[in-house]
């Protein structure tokens, strides 16, 4: 039996994994003392052409907003903020209590009384159109450019937003933030990619993702994606996601002996198994078109990248940021050292750690609209 304190620590680690996996039970609970009122909506893009050449007659983008959109005398949006989530999450990751308290509360850097905050679900996730809606493995093989295009159309066509005060993203959302700066260099006043690097998938980062992709495609019950019941064998490899995204010292504290570590493994397998196999496959394959490195000089908005020294996914010892951020005309970065408030890659879910840099970016770009 797991001791009570260990059980509590185990649940903390599992809640982070569930947050990363898009579990709404841990990501959407409102911070009641803030009196924030999220508003959900859906936008349907007609005749959406994917970068692989296929077209769907309708693509749905689900989103949640906070605050009230403001416009200037010419009708241009003045206070819109776009928040982009990670690979296995949804926009509701930003509605976790810690996010609401640190980012949207009165006086916080993205005070919901002052800003109009848009939190969309990416293609393939949450309430947006995804393989599990019916097409299964016949769903178009979308890439990050398709996710960005769908979000852009939602902003412009549905919400009538032509300018963004800020684009901020974590993990995959951070990667897409670099791409936003290149693709729409005049649209945002500030960019903050968190827990990401502006290089294509390779090395260890590609290898662990291929473990997941290969496990799904070779699951005997996957059946080319046309399964009647969700396959389960692939879930046995999914804890590699937690290994890559969590701080090792915290994992050791959470599971200090073999029995507790085995229990944690089994629980993680069960949690990840709640996701549709095709959806997960597409999550990890969708980075196929990610490589902002050749066009970093196209970014015009001030960009402040935040990375974490103990992040295994975006390994600091690669020296990527030191080599490439100088190519961004108004770019800079900070590498947060490992310390008592470190959670590895999952430090992204602890805005108290990186909020000071957001405050600095917002203050330094005030009046840049």
Instruction: Spell out the residues 6+ positions from residue 354 whose beta carbon is closer than 8 angstroms to its own.
Output: 194, 306, 336, 347, 348
Average of per-residue pLDDT across 205-230: 97
* 30 pLDDT above the threshold of 80: no
Question: For 126-140, how does the pLDDT look when each residue is reduced to its tens digit (9 = 90+)?
Answer: 999 999 999 999 999
Centroid of chain to Cα 25: 17
Question: For 287-301, how does the pLDDT look when each residue is reduced to its tens digit (9 = 90+)?
Answer: 999 999 999 999 999
169 backbone φψ class: left, alpha, beta (φ>0; ψ -120 to 50): beta
Average of per-residue pLDDT across 176-189: 98
| Nearest CA among 201, 214, 279 for reference residue 240 | 214
* Separation of alpha carbons 178 and 291, rounded Å: 9
Q: Are 193 and 172 in contact (CB under 8 A)?
A: no
226 catalytic residue (yes or no): no
Average of per-residue pLDDT across 344-367: 96
* Separation of alpha carbons 110 and 363, rounded Å: 11
Confidence class for position 36, pLDDT limits 50, 70, 90: confident
* 28 pLDDT above the threshold of 70: no
From 62, 141, 151, 345, the catalytic residue:
345
111 catalytic residue (yes or no): no
From 128, 276, 311, 342, the catalytic residue:
311
β-strands 116-120, 166-170 pairing: unpaired
* Entry field: residues in the chain: 369
| Nearest CA among 176, 169, 198 for reference residue 319 | 198
* Separation of alpha carbons 145 and 181, rounded Å: 12
Angle, alpha carbons 256-259-264 (nearest 5°) = 75
Instruction: Spell out the residues 6+ positions from residue 18 whose beta carbon is closer than 8 angstroms to its own.
Output: 25, 26, 27, 271
Residues 275-288 as b or e (16 or more Cβ within 10 Å = b): bbbbbbbbbbbbbb
Q: What percent of the chain has pLDDT over 90?
A: 89
345 catalytic residue (yes or no): yes
Average of per-residue pLDDT across 260-283: 97
Domain boundaries, the chain: 4-364
Average of per-residue pLDDT across 187-215: 97
Structure tokens at 194: 């968190």
Instruction: Spell out the residues 6+ positions from residue 84 whose beta carbon is closer than 8 angstroms to its own.
Output: 120, 122, 151, 167, 168, 169, 170, 172, 173, 174, 176, 177
* Separation of alpha carbons 356 and 362, rounded Å: 10
Q: Which residue has the higher pLDDT, 58 or 367?
A: 58
From 171, 189, 196, 286, the catalytic residue:
171
- What does the radius of gyration of the chain's CA atoms come to, in whole angstroms? 20
DSSP state of 92: G
Q: Which CATH architecture has domain 4-364?
A: 3-Layer(aba) Sandwich (3.40)
Confidence class for position 93, pLDDT limits 50, 70, 90: very high
């Amino acid at each position: 039996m797991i001791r009570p304190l260990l059980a509590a620590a185990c649940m903390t680690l599992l809640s982070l994994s569930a947050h990363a996996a898009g579990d709404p039970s841990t990501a959407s609970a409102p911070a009641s003392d803030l009196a924030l009122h999220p508003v959900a909506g859906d936008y349907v893009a007609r005749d959406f052409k994917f970068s692989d050449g296929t077209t769907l007659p309708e693509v749905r983008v689900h989103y949640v907003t906070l605050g009230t959109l403001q416009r200037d005398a010419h009708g241009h949006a003045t206070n819109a903020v776009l928040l982009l989530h990670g690979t296995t999450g949804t926009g509701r990751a930003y509605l976790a209590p810690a996010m609401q308290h640190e980012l949207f509360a009165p006086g916080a850097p993205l005070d919901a009384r002052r800003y109009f905050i848009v939190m969309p679900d990416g293609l393939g996730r949450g309430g947006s159109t995804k393989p599990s809606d019916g097409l299964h493995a016949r769903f178009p093989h979308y890439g990050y450019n398709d996710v960005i295009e769908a979000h852009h159309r939602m902003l412009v066509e549905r919400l009538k937003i032509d300018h963004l005060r800020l684009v901020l993203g974590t993990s995959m959302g951070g990667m897409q933030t670099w791409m936003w700066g290149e693709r729409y260099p005049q649209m945002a006043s500030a960019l903050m990619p968190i827990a990401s690097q502006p290089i294509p998938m390779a090395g260890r980062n590609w290898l662990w993702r291929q473990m997941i992709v290969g496990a799904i495609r070779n699951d005997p019950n996957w059946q080319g994606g046309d399964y009647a019941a969700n396959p389960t064998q692939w879930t046995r490899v999914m804890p590699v996601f937690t290994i890559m995204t969590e701080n090792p010292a915290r994992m050791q504290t959470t599971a200090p002996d073999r029995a507790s570590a085995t229990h944690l493994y089994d629980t993680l397998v069960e949690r990840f198994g709640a996701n549709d196999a095709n959806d997960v496959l597409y999550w990890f394959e969708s980075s196929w078109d990610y490589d902002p490195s050749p066009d970093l000089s196209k970014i015009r908005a001030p960009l402040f990248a935040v990375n974490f020294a103990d992040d295994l996914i975006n390994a600091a010892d690669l020296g990527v940021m030191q080599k490439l951020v100088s190519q961004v005309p108004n770019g800079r970065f900070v590498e947060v050292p490992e310390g008592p408030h470190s959670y590895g890659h999952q430090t992204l879910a602890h805005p108290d750690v990186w909020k000071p840099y957001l405050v600095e970016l917002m203050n330094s770009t005030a009046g840049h609209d």
